[in-house]
């Protein structure tokens, strides 16, 4: 059997499983109503597929197993966390910087605008969004610049939702969302004017191979802008306390292996990109840190409108959610495995805040990289 046969079988299996798990008309449901509508047997299977490699081990063999199974494992992760993300965070699945006094959703949108600006996205550009989630950033960036965006995602449930929200927003002619693996892109070479990725390529088992795919589909002279999740240069893999934080982030965020910043930079250069911008936006000394919503520290809350979001993301709010989910699961209302998901998300929150406070981790390593023009590539 060829790789293409294997890919198309996996794709079909995932699409069928997604229908079974989330049910018909799933795109219009979110949060708790989506959780309660799940097929109970399929949910149990999805949770165990996601968690099967997370056995507490961090040796080479354990890492290898997680790296090999990246596609199924991430697909399963997003099958079980998407409803919680939407309930707790909204429809853009990323972190952002905050100005004093700026509300949560304004700050999130600004972070997306900044990436569009850094990539030089212009009216009429054809842009690829690598790992597009449910399309929050694609909608915002298309509105901001009047560009056309194709969102690439390996999760069927999120693609269905992204299409549903785009239509609801009247953006169906500007946006399209397609199923695919960013490690094996099927677009024609040199298709896109610009490519961006927001907190998605950290799910790649190998950054260089992923960036190579991006390089291939970019037009010569085109730019790629990314908010990369990386461990900073202060991270020491041999330090147990550091490795524990990285493992919490990997487990709770469905990431096979967190790489260091130098690995990402080198990977871009090895592909032939010219790195134009290379800046950790988390290291700019902001008064309000990017991880504040997960801290439960009220002093950071910016506006009255943020109180609801802040409560859901805070330690107390998360405790309330996980207790409710666990009670609903015990009484057979929520599907089995749901409380394992809230427990994993709790590990994510703890690891992310610790990584942020100690400057061991950043979710906003901004790279802007340019593919040279054809004549420059040859010389």
Quote the CA–CA distance of 376 and 379 in Å, as a whole number: 5
> CA 270 from chain center: how many Å?
24
Question: How many residues form the binding site for ligand LGRKZMXR (CB under 6 A)?
Answer: 20
Distance CA 195, CA 217 (A): 9
Of 203-222, which residues contact ligand SAM (CB under 6 A)? 203
Verify binding: residue 202, ligand LGRKZMXR, rule CB under 6 A: yes
Instruction: Show contacts with ligand LGRKZMXR in window 324-363 (CB under 6 A).
Output: 342, 345, 348-349
Q: Find tokens 């911008």 and name the residue.
A: 277
Compare residues 131 and 222 and give the one whose CB is closer to ligand LGRKZMXR.
Answer: 131
**Spatial distance between the Cα atoms of 329 and 300, rounded to a whole number of angstroms:** 33
Among 156, 193, 199, 329, binds ligand LGRKZMXR (CB under 6 A): 199
Token pair of 282, please?
């988390």
Indicate whether 166 belongs to the interface with ligand LGRKZMXR (CB under 6 A): no
Of 256-315, binders to ligand SAM (CB under 6 A) are none
Give residue for tokens 């597009």. Answer: 132
Residue among 220, 170, 365, 200 at smallest CA distance from 283: 365
DSSP conformation letters of 228-261: EEEE-TT--TT-HHHHHHHHHHHHHHT-S-PPBH
Task: Note whether 194 binds ligand SAM by CB under 6 A.
Answer: no
Q: Is 318 among the residues that bind ligand LGRKZMXR (CB under 6 A)?
A: yes
Work out what residue 78 binds among ligand SAM, ligand LGRKZMXR, none; the CB cut-off runs from 5 to 8 Å by kind: ligand SAM
Query: Binding to ligand SAM by residue 351, rule CB under 6 A?
Result: no
| Residues 58, 248: Cα–Cα separation, whole Å | 11
- Least distance from ligand LGRKZMXR to the Cβ atom of residue 84, Å: 5
- Minimum CB–partner distance for residue 336 and ligand SAM (Å): 23
Burial pattern 72-103, b for ≥16 Cβ within 10 A else e, equals bbbbbbbbbbbbbbbbbbebbbbbbbbeeebb
Pair 192, 217: CB distance under 8 Å: yes
Q: Which stretch binds ligand LGRKZMXR (CB under 6 A): 36-44, 45-53, 81-89, 214-222?
A: 81-89
292 closest CA partner among 96, 84, 114, 86: 96
Give the binding range for ligand LGRKZMXR (CB under 6 A) out of 79-87, 181-189, 262-270, 364-372: 79-87
Q: Decide if residue 155 touches ligand SAM (CB under 6 A).
A: yes
Nearer Cβ to ligand SAM (10/275): 10
Spatial CB neighbours of 111, under 8 Å, sequence gap ≥ 6: 94, 95, 96, 97, 227, 364
User: Which positions lie near ligand SAM, rule CB under 6 A?
Assistant: 71, 74, 78, 92-94, 131-133, 136-137, 152-155, 158, 181-183, 198-200, 203
Residues that bind ligand LGRKZMXR (CB under 6 A): 84-85, 87-89, 93-95, 199, 202, 229, 253, 312-313, 318, 321, 342, 345, 348-349
């Amino acid at each position: 059997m060829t790789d293409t046969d294997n890919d198309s079988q996996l794709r079909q299996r995932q699409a069928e499983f997604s229908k079974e798990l989330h049910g018909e008309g799933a795109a219009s449901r979110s949060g708790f109503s989506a959780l309660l509508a799940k097929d109970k047997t399929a949910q149990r299977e999805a949770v165990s597929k996601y968690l099967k490699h997370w056995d507490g081990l961090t040796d080479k063999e354990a890492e290898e197993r997680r790296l090999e199974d990246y596609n199924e494992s991430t697909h399963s992760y997003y099958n079980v966390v998407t409803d919680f993300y939407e309930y707790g965070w909204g429809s853009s699945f990323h972190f952002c910087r905050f100005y004093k006094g700026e509300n949560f959703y304004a700050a999130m949108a600004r972070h997306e605008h900044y990436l569009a600006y850094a990539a030089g996205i212009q009216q009429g550009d054809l842009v690829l969004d690598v790992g597009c989630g449910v399309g929050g950033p694609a909608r915002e960036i298309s509105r901001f610049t009047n560009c056309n965006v194709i969102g690439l995602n390996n999760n069927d449930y999120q693609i269905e939702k992204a299409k549903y929200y785009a239509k609801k927003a009247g953006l169906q002619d500007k946006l399209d969302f397609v199923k695919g693996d960013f490690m094996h892109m099927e677009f024609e070479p040199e298709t896109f004017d610009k490519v961006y990725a927001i907190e998605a390529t950290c799910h790649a088992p190998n950054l260089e191979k992923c960036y190579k795919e991006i390089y291939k589909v970019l037009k010569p002279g085109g730019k790629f802008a990314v908010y990369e999740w990386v461990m900073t240069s202060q991270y020491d893999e041999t330090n147990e306390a550091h490795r524990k934080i990285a493992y919490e982030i990997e487990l709770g965020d469905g990431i096979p292996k967190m790489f260091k910043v130098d690995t990402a930079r080198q990977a871009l250069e090895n592909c032939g990109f010219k790195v134009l911008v290379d800046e950790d936006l988390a290291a700019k000394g902001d008064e309000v840190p990017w991880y504040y919503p997960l801290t439960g520290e009220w002093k950071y809350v910016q506006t009255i409108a943020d109180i609801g979001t802040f409560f859901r993301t805070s330690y107390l709010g998360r405790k309330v959610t996980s207790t409710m989910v666990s009670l609903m699961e015990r009484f057979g209302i929520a599907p089995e495995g749901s409380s394992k998901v809230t427990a994993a998300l709790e590990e994510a929150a703890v690891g992310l805040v610790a990584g942020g406070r100690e400057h061991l981790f950043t979710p906003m390593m901004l790279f802007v990289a340019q593919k040279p023009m054809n004549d420059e590539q040859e010389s």
